[in-house]
Amino acid sequence: MSVSRSLVAAVATLSFVASTQAWNVELPPCLDKFQPFVYSGCFQDGGPGNPNALIFRSTLSSDNMTVEECVADCKGNGFRYAGLEYYGVCFCGGTVDGPQVDESQCSFPCTGNKSETCGGNNLLSVWQDPTFPTKQVTIGDYKAAGCYSDNSQQGRALSWSADVDSSTFTTESCLTACEAEGFPLAGTEFGGECWCGNVLANSTTKVDDSQCNFPCKGNSSETCGGSGLLNLYIATDLESLEPCGWVPPSSSSTTTSVSTTSLPPPPPTSTTTPCTTTSVSTTSLPPPPPTSTTNPCETTSTSTTPPPPPPTTTKCTTTSKSTSTTTTSSLCTVTVTTPPSCEYKCGDWCFPPLPDWSNEKDCLKAYSTCAAGVASCFAQAGFPGALQCFNFGQWCSGIQQYCSSTCLFGKCSKGDCWNHNPGQGGSPPKTSTTVIPCPPTTTTKPPATSTKPSHCPPPPTNICTQPSNSKYGYGPGNPVGGISLPIVSCNDIYSDWRNNPFKLYINQKSWNCPSYPPSGCGNACSDACKEQYTQCTNVYQKGCQDGSGFRWKRSEGAKRALSISQFTQNWGFGDNSPSNAAKKCQAQYQDCLAVNKNVNPKQQCKTWGC
Ligand SMILES: *[C@@H]1O[C@H](CO)[C@@H](O)[C@H](O)[C@H]1NC(C)=O
Ligand SMILES: *[C@@H]1O[C@H](CO)[C@@H](O)[C@H](O)[C@H]1NC(C)=O
Ligand SMILES: *[C@@H]1O[C@H](CO)[C@@H](O)[C@H](O)[C@H]1NC(C)=O
Ligand SMILES: *[C@@H]1O[C@H](CO)[C@@H](O)[C@H](O)[C@H]1NC(C)=O
- 559-576, pLDDT tens digit by residue? 444 444 444 445 656 677
Please tell me if the CB atom of residue 219 comes closer than 6 angstroms to any atom of ligand 4.
yes
**Which ligand has the minimum distance to the alpha carbon of residue 507?**
4
Q: Are residues 68 and 170 in the same domain?
A: no
Ligand nearest to the CA of 292: 2
Report residue 467's pLDDT band, with 50, 70 and 90 as the boundaries. very high
My answer on whether 108 and 155 are in the same domain is no
Euclidean distance between CA atoms 307 and 298, whole angstroms: 14
Quick one: 50 and 92 in the same domain? yes
Residue 447 lies in a domain: no
Alpha-carbon distance of 104 to 93, in angstroms, equals 23
What is the structure's pLDDT at 506?
92
For residues 85 and 153, state if they share a domain.
Answer: no
CB 440 within 8 A of CB 315: yes
Same domain for 124 and 192, yes or no, is: no
- Residue type for position 32: D
pLDDT at 546 over 90: no
Phi, psi of 184 (to 5 degrees): -75, -20
Contact 348, 382 (CB under 8 A): yes
User: By residue range, what is the domain housing residue 216?
Assistant: 139-238
Share of the chain above pLDDT 90, in %: 45
Q: Centre a 10 Å sphere on the Cβ of residue 555 and count the other Cβ atoms it contains.
A: 13
* 90 and 144 together in one domain: no
Q: How many helices (H) and strands (E) does the chain have?
A: 10, 23
- Note whether residue 154 is domain-resident: yes
434 — pLDDT class (breaks 50, 70, 90): low
In a domain, 270, yes or no: no
Nearest CA to ligand 3 atom 6: 6
Please report whether residue 507 resides in a domain. Answer: no
Residues 6+ apart with CB under 8 A from 306: none
Tell me, yes or no, whether 94 and 156 share the same domain: no
Same domain, 219 and 161: yes
CB-facing half-sphere around the CA of 4: CA atoms within 13 A: 4
Query: Is 404 part of any domain?
Result: yes
pLDDT band at 51 (very low <50, low <70, confident <90, very high): confident
CA–centroid distance, residue 303 to ligand 4 (Å): 50
Sign of CA dihedral 29, 31, 35, 37: positive
If asked whether residues 83 and 147 sit together in one domain, one would say no
Name the pLDDT band for 235 (thresholds 50, 70, 90).
very high
- Indicate the pLDDT class of residue 542, thresholds 50, 70 and 90: confident
209: Cα separation from own chain's centroid: 26
Atom of ligand 4 nearest to the CA of 222: 2
* Mean pLDDT on 120-131: 95
CA separation (Å) from 556 to 344, 511, 538? 22, 36, 18
The pLDDT of residue 610 is 77
Cis geometry, peptide bond prior to residue 384 (ω within 30 degrees of 0)? yes
**Measured in whole angstroms, how far is the alpha carbon of residue 406 from the centre of its chain?**
31
Q: How far apart, in whole angstroms, are the C-alpha atoms of residue 597 and residue 253?
A: 78
pLDDT for residue 84 is more than 80? yes
Select from 37, 32, 233, 45 the least CA-distant residue to 148: 233
In a domain, 429, yes or no: yes
243 C-alpha vs ligand 3 centroid, how far in Å? Answer: 19
Q: In this predicted structure, what is the pLDDT of residue 579?
A: 86
Tell me, what's the pLDDT at 320? 32
The verdict on the CB of residue 116 being under 6 Å from ligand 2 is yes
pLDDT (0 to 100) of residue 239 = 95
Is residue 92 a contact partner of residue 58, using CB atoms and an 8 Å limit? Answer: yes
Strands 81-85 and 89-93: antiparallel
Greater confidence (70 vs 330) lies with 70
Give the residue from 223, 238, 253 where a domain finishes.
238
Mean pLDDT of 48-67: 89
Nearest residue (CA) to ligand 3, atom 13: 203
| Whole-Å CA distances, 390 to 285, 398, 482 | 71, 12, 8
Q: How far is the CA of 8 from the centre of ligand 3 (A)?
A: 11
Last residue of a domain, one of 238, 256, 273: 238
| Structural domain contains residue 400 | yes
The single-letter code of the amino acid at 395 is W
Residues 114 and 15 in one domain: yes
What is residue 211's predicted lDDT score, i.e. its pLDDT? 97
Please tell me whether residues 24 and 99 are part of one structural domain.
yes
Residues 111 and 198 in one domain: no
Side-chain-facing half-sphere of 564: CA atoms under 13 Å:
22
What would the pLDDT profile of 355-382 be if each residue is shown by its tens digit? 888 899 999 999 999 999 999 999 999 8
Per the structure, how many domains does the chain have? 3
Mean pLDDT on 172-183: 96
- Range from 23-32, 502-511, 565-574 carrying the lowest mean pLDDT: 565-574
In a domain, 576, yes or no: no
Q: Which residues contact 448 (CB under 8 A, 6 or more apart)?
A: none
Q: With contact defined as beta carbons under 8 Å apart, do 473 and 591 qualify?
A: no
